[in-house]
Structure 1
């Protein structure tokens, strides 16, 4: 499914810009709007006008890769979000983790690690408490939450929809009680509502993942302001 997502993303955007027109058609308009959303709404707004351009490809690829793999959970017959598997989410978070650390070291040298864990303007007497907390927060908790937030929401939503569908089938097909059959119908109605809520969460989680990526890169670029 991950390989399929790469193929579909490349195919869609290549098809959208194959014959670009000054007045775009629906496909070109959709592709340009999607690109503009990531470029301006995430890249420029978070990283800043001065530094955002080199990072647009990464943010663009990250957003749509996570989005499509999330949406697989809402497609019949596939119906499994790739990032409901912890390994997939860990791999994505590890790529971003390595990227923003490399950015920090490239821009500030080895001094970056000091800048990342020693807050400016904090009294010296509180540093023995703050520095370990900053180390844990920035280099341990940050990548874990970046991955687990995505994995947990995708897994939870998938499980809820599947349990609702299984429970509705049991109540309608297996149970002989008319009341239980009625409850099964209500469960189906509720599961449809959950399905659309899950669609919203899939999109939001892709946005949050890309947004945090931009925030981490921005922090690495401007570590002196920490």
Structure 2
């Protein structure tokens, strides 16, 4: 069957018609959580001066998020203060995104709006909390009333600032992550559906058009690599934008 929007609304697998109903995507999300926790525990439980491959790979990602996203964006003090949040905003999307390329899984945990929306609301709450924590009500004043602007313009600019800061940010965070994962799944599913049709429906009948399946398989392999890159990139963008929004909230002027 060709891919369709129904892929993102699978039937219940467990506990149907209860508040705890689980479908395929929810099971994927739970699996990712278990894998992430297990990986981080095992790779950091017995740290060695000369790390093995697992510890080295984990340290590379941890140091990258700490140094190149959190501290580079927020500075030493705030970078370490909000490091657990930034780490979560990197590793959780990374794990959820990468499942789109895993055989027999084939769909990202972030390809349904619930999880991207929850993470975006957490990021939204975090930068508002950071602004009030560091600056009190001065944060709200600077966020809504730009300094140096003639006061009549506030009737125009303040609603725009409310829209862009407190509404557009979480919406764009959600949609950027969601749409990339939806598009990636549909394209991969379409390519491999076409490959199956060419190689297993046409070619056995002697139809030479089935040889086109070799091209679609090759494209699928290449695009799978691109999808892995997209999973990494979207995790980086989500964590980086979360850090940027917090930095804007704690800055004296923005």
State TM-score, norm by structure 1: 0.93
Unmatched 5+ stretches in structure 2 = 1-27
Counterpart Cα distance in 1 of 2:71 and 2:226: 29
Deviations 1:21-70 (A, max 9, x none): 22222222222111100000100111112321111111112211110110
Counterpart Cα distance in 1 of 2:217 and 2:47: 44
Return the structure number with greater helix share.
Answer: 1
The question of whether the paired residues in 2 share the 8 Å contact of 1:172 and 1:180 is answered with no
Counterpart Cα distance in 1 of 2:159 and 2:181: 32
CA shift, 1:210, in A, is: 0.3
1:44 aligns with 2:77: no
Counterpart Cα distance in 2 of 1:107 and 1:19: 37
CA shift, 1:215, in A, is: 0.6
After the TM superposition, which of the residue ranges 143-152 and 44-53 deviates more from structure 2? Answer: 44-53
Pick from 230, 248, 253 the counterpart of residue 201 of structure 1: 230
**Structure-1 residue corresponding to 2:250:** 221
**Structure-2 residue corresponding to 1:11:** 38
1:153 aligns with 2:180: yes
Pairs aligned (count): 225
The question of whether the paired residues in 1 share the 8 Å contact of 2:139 and 2:250 is answered with no
1:21 aligns with 2:48: yes
Counterpart Cα distance in 1 of 2:195 and 2:218: 10
Unmatched 5+ stretches in structure 1 = none
CA shift, 1:164, in A, is: 1.0
CA shift, 1:112, in A, is: 2.3
Root mean square deviation of aligned Cα = 1.6
**Structure-2 residue corresponding to 1:117:** 144
1:81 aligns with 2:105: no
Counterpart Cα distance in 2 of 1:113 and 1:9: 37
Counterpart Cα distance in 2 of 1:143 and 1:63: 16
Pick from 185, 201, 214 the counterpart of residue 214 of structure 2: 185
SS of 1:82's equivalent in the other structure is coil
